[in-house]
Amino acid sequence: MSERNLLMIPGPIEFEPSVLRALGEKTRSHLDPVFMKAYGRAIKRLREVFLAPTAQPFVVAGSGTLAMEMAVANLVQPGDKALVVNSGYFSDRIGTMLERHGAAVTHARADVGSVPSAAEVDTVLATGGFKLMTITHVDTSTAVLAPVKELAAVAKKHGVLVVVDGVCSVGGEALEMDAWGIDVAFTASQKALGCPPGLAILLASPKALATSKARTRPVAAMYLDFAEWLPIHEAYEAERPSYFATPPVNLIMALDVSLGHLVDEGMGARIERHAKLANSVRAAWQALGLRPLPMDTAVSANTLSALYYPPGVDAALVKAVAAEGVVIAGGLHPALKPKYFRVGHMGAVSRADLVTTVSAIERALRACGHPVEAGRGVAALG
Ligand SMILES: *Cc1c(COP(=O)(O)O)cnc(C)c1O
């Protein structure tokens, strides 16, 4: 396939050329002053991106799933009670992970395309004894957006730690870690942060760090232990040499460049841009008669769309769109996998990318025997 196709899946995404250039530079020593400075700056920039001046960032080699496991491994001991606010595939994943770490897990579930309400969660937490609650900010399997602020407020009322899976949201959806009382939020480099895959990124509140420190048994997985990584991150932030495990030097150089773009754009402006582009692409889907999985716009993510295939169309559409030069994703939620497709629109995404994507989907729909008027979706983009 041509290298000039357009990658519009929910991560990895299209990256800024400046980020890719940083990745391709000569690999420095992990103790090189230039690298120490970049790592330290990336750590500081993460506090700005997560709106978390009091939190401790961790950046380690791995994917979003490793960041998820780092959260679970540090906060959970066998027998702890955890509540999963379940909105789909990635909520199921953290539920399974919590169980493997010995937690007693309760799920608050909603119908596919929706998310449990703060009132429902309040009722479950009121039964007592929960140590932590997890929220999937954007469930990438359904494009459902959870009301993190409201849900976190309920958990705080019950004195329960709040863990947010922000892998498909941080850098694209509003998230105010400190103001909303979130204890751990994590993401991965390849989604709305706009850096190639390979970095697990986690921010821990002082309370989350204290919880891990107060464990009666050390974290079994040494690579995931906050206590191992804390002095390393403190040293890099102070541009002092230190070593625990070799950092992915080039990826961290690239992350620093990418976070620089986020900070320069400003988080408010960036969230607003994602909201505007998402509104415009939603109008295009509607004009094309494509029905979204999320039940209403209040629970619709701005970072991606999940859309049912129209009658008579199946997963062949994804291939037909690829033939138009645009890469989109099929379904992921096990209950509905063959019935829908997904389009990512996060990070460096532009209006031009949406014009190209909507137009490719129009043409592919026609190629799949579904008549849509040429230009109808593109016109609706506004
Ligand atoms: C992508 C994703 C993950 C998993 O991240 P990987 O980097 O694929 O391990 C977890 N949660 C959500 C919400 C995601 O979108």
Report the separation in Å between the CA atom of 141 and the middle of ligand 1, taken as the mean of its atom positions.
10
Pocket probe for ligand 1: among 92, 168, 187, the residue whose CB has the most ligand atoms within 8 Å is: 168
Ligand 1, atom 2: closest residue by C-alpha: 167
Pocket probe for ligand 1: among 65, 84, 138, the residue whose CB has the most ligand atoms within 8 Å is: 65
Does the Cβ of 188 fall within 6 Å of ligand 1?
A: yes
Report the separation in Å between the CA atom of 89 and the middle of ligand 1, taken as the mean of its atom positions.
10
Mean pLDDT of the chain: 97
Sheet with 130-136, side-by-side order of all strands: 56-61, 199-204, 184-188, 161-165, 130-136, 81-86, 104-109
The residue ranges of the chain whose pLDDT is under 70 are 1-2
Collapsing DSSP to helix, strand or coil, 59 comes out as strand
Tell me, yes or no, if the pTM score tops 0.75: yes
At a CB cut-off of 8 Å and minimum separation 6, what does 156 contact?
Answer: 162, 181
Residue 200 phi, psi (nearest 5) = -95, 130
Q: Can you tell me which residue has the tokens 């602020």?
A: 149
What class has domain 6-12+267-381? Answer: alpha beta
Report the separation in Å between the CA atom of 168 and the middle of ligand 1, taken as the mean of its atom positions.
7
What class has domain 17-265? Answer: alpha beta
Strand partners, 104: 81
pLDDT digits (tens, 9 = 90+) for 312-352: 999 999 999 999 999 999 999 998 999 999 999 999 999 99
Kindly list the domain boundaries of the chain, sorted by start residue: 6-12+267-381, 17-265
Does the Cβ of 372 fall within 6 Å of ligand 1?
A: no
How far apart are alpha carbons 184 and 181 in whole angstroms? 9
pLDDT at 378: 97
pLDDT digits (tens, 9 = 90+) for 219-245: 999 999 999 999 999 999 999 999 999
What spatial distance separates the first Cα and last Cα of the chain, rounded to whole Å? 31
Transcribe 17-50 into DSSP letters.
HHHHHHHHSPPPPTT-HHHHHHHHHHHHHHHHHT
pLDDT at 4: 87
How far apart are alpha carbons 93 and 332 in whole angstroms? 13
